[in-house]
Chains A and B, each alone.
Chain A
């Protein structure tokens, strides 16, 4: 159970191969080559709180389809990301709308994630150099702390990102630093458990560092990994007229 408050930190010689491999495994664990999941997102503000349920399909790191299931008001809304472009579908409008650049910076469903954030989830692997900072032990497990620094010319705004990965490949923490190396936002894994045959960060909460009383929580309630995803699923026509489930 709870270990002693003393946690042993072991500095490790910088070995990029090590760090990148750890991250790759962590991402693999999180979304695999393909995935289908059900998530509940809670947006919390000082004055209100809202919950939404979504169903998502992902393929690789580039393509994803997210469809809203609940509440009833938003059910049927969906967004599709293929490579760099994002489209939205609204059943009331019955139209697929490509998101213009000005919308990409807007909050997704009023949360602390922007459309852009969702589009850039693979950035950590592609655009950063990785370095193992340290390894600590706690609760009988070891946690690797990896520092990701943007490669020269990479289209990312962060100064650096620190990711903590557990020895069973679960990402436990991501801290995004601005270019002055001050933490700008933190994503904390608050509950880990088995899902789809693997240990999984079931509850992740995003805390912006410059605002109080605001956070967004994503709770994954069901998931399947590495399932065959039919070609028609992640297309614009399917976005508009869903066939699979």
Chain B
């Protein structure tokens, strides 16, 4: 009954109720949009950094990441990769051999990192293939081809079509020696990659470095990072039987995780302030409507209605307002966020062009998910419910007669 009463009371002053609802709805929607935008930026940052080369996650031998010792291998990676690809969320599972050695031409020799890759899977994990600006990337069916970073190419004074010699140590200690034909040169924008990496066919690397059918890592990619993260438990249980570990993106790029935390904390602080200010604004209105109705409350008290009941009715009115406003805000905000998710928005200050230089998207795309949709409206709702206790307490202190006498 209280509920019904509260609802009816709300609409006695439609203008004010509507204005309040709109106010709550607007701010909620704004926050839903801003938070979605923020999460979109975070997702873009992660996807872009990880997508250059690392992959969204990697299956590695235990303790491989400590010293990247070539001898720490994953057994039967081909079978494992096949099984992992069946898991929903895993779009690509690319096995890699990673070995250090000398890259040599008749006139120069420099240290380099040779990575044996499976091109078909690799393109689903790493963007490197799309940064090849001379020649082509590796293809299925290649035997002795190689793509190298442009700084390495300059160092060795080689280009597409030249021969590259490889000298290193095999897994069993034997000499690893090979001749490769450069078919492509890439420019990733990351110095470490452009200066060090030589990618070659996986089978050839396994043969040259005496790996048998082993690999050092299986890099995982997928349609989106959240999708892959959702698949983490399934992946982890599958690889446990191999004695391997899953290195998630936080382990692959720990400083990226930290920078996202910084961003999130700073933005979160700002949004909290926004919520606070909005709750204050609404509180003003609610307080006034309570004060206005002092005489009415006095009458109800005189008629025998308990102060607690009067107060809760009033409180419920505020809650309804907030609920309707918040729900509206979620709807509006989500709709807008979805639109921007699709369309994208330009960076303020023209930063987009600069980012394009790094192969990063030049527009920001929002990312709508339960967190971005419900956090802010929920916080506003909670804030109003709490703030609404102030008028509630005020009502509790009313005395019937003085209240009826107020003008």
So, do A and B actually touch in the complex, CB under 8 Å?
Answer: yes
A90 within 8 A of B: yes
Q: Within the complex, what minimum Cβ distance (angstroms) separates A76 from chain B?
A: 9
Establish whether residues B175 and A97, one from each chain, have CB atoms under 8 Å apart when the complex forms: no
Q: Within the complex, what minimum Cβ distance (angstroms) separates B171 from chain A?
A: 8
Residue in B102, B165, B175 whose CB lies within 8 Å of A109: B175
A106 within 8 A of B: yes
Q: Within the complex, what minimum Cβ distance (angstroms) separates B103 from chain A?
A: 9
By secondary structure, the B interface counts as: strand
Docked Cα-Cα span, A43 to B173, in Å, equals: 8
**Residue of B102, B104, B177 with highest tally of chain A CB at under 10 A:** B177
Interface size bracket, A side: 20 to 34
B77 within 8 A of A: no
Please name all residues of chain A whose beta carbon is closer than 8 Å to the beta carbon of B177 when the two chains form the complex. 77, 90, 92-93
Docked Cα-Cα span, A111 to B169, in Å, equals: 10
Count chain B residues whose beta carbon lies closer than 8 angstroms to a beta carbon of A.
19
Q: Within the complex, what minimum Cβ distance (angstroms) separates B155 from chain A?
A: 11
Establish whether residues B172 and A50, one from each chain, have CB atoms under 8 Å apart when the complex forms: yes
Residue in B104, B111, B169, B175 whose CB lies within 8 Å of A102: B111
Docked Cα-Cα span, A43 to B102, in Å, equals: 22
A11 within 8 A of B: no
Docked Cα-Cα span, A218 to B170, in Å, equals: 20
Docked Cα-Cα span, A214 to B256, in Å, equals: 38
Q: Within the complex, what minimum Cβ distance (angstroms) separates A158 from chain B?
A: 22
B100 within 8 A of A: yes
A121 within 8 A of B: no
A10 within 8 A of B: no
Residue in A43, A52, A97 whose CB lies within 8 Å of B167: A97
**Residue of B110, B167, B173 with highest tally of chain A CB at under 10 A:** B173
Docked Cα-Cα span, A240 to B335, in Å, equals: 72
Question: In the complex where A90-B175, A102-B111, A103-B111 touch, is A95 in contact with B169 (Cβ < 8 A)?
Answer: no
A74 within 8 A of B: yes
Q: Within the complex, what minimum Cβ distance (angstroms) separates A188 from chain B?
A: 21
Residue of B nearest to A105 (CB): B111
Please name all residues of chain A whose beta carbon is closer than 8 Å to the beta carbon of B14 when the two chains form the complex. none
Establish whether residues B104 and A97, one from each chain, have CB atoms under 8 Å apart when the complex forms: yes
Question: In the complex where A50-B172, A74-B174, A95-B106 touch, is A100 in contact with B111 (Cβ < 8 A)?
Answer: yes
Residue of A nearest to B169 (CB): A110
Please name all residues of chain A whose beta carbon is closer than 8 Å to the beta carbon of B101 when the two chains form the complex. 103
Establish whether residues B111 and A95, one from each chain, have CB atoms under 8 Å apart when the complex forms: no
A146 within 8 A of B: no
Please name all residues of chain B whose beta carbon is closer than 8 Å to the beta carbon of A95 when the two chains form the complex. 104, 106, 165
A99 within 8 A of B: yes
Docked Cα-Cα span, A99 to B178, in Å, equals: 16
Docked Cα-Cα span, A43 to B174, in Å, equals: 11
Establish whether residues B173 and A109, one from each chain, have CB atoms under 8 Å apart when the complex forms: yes
Establish whether residues B102 and A92, one from each chain, have CB atoms under 8 Å apart when the complex forms: no
Residue of B nearest to A50 (CB): B173
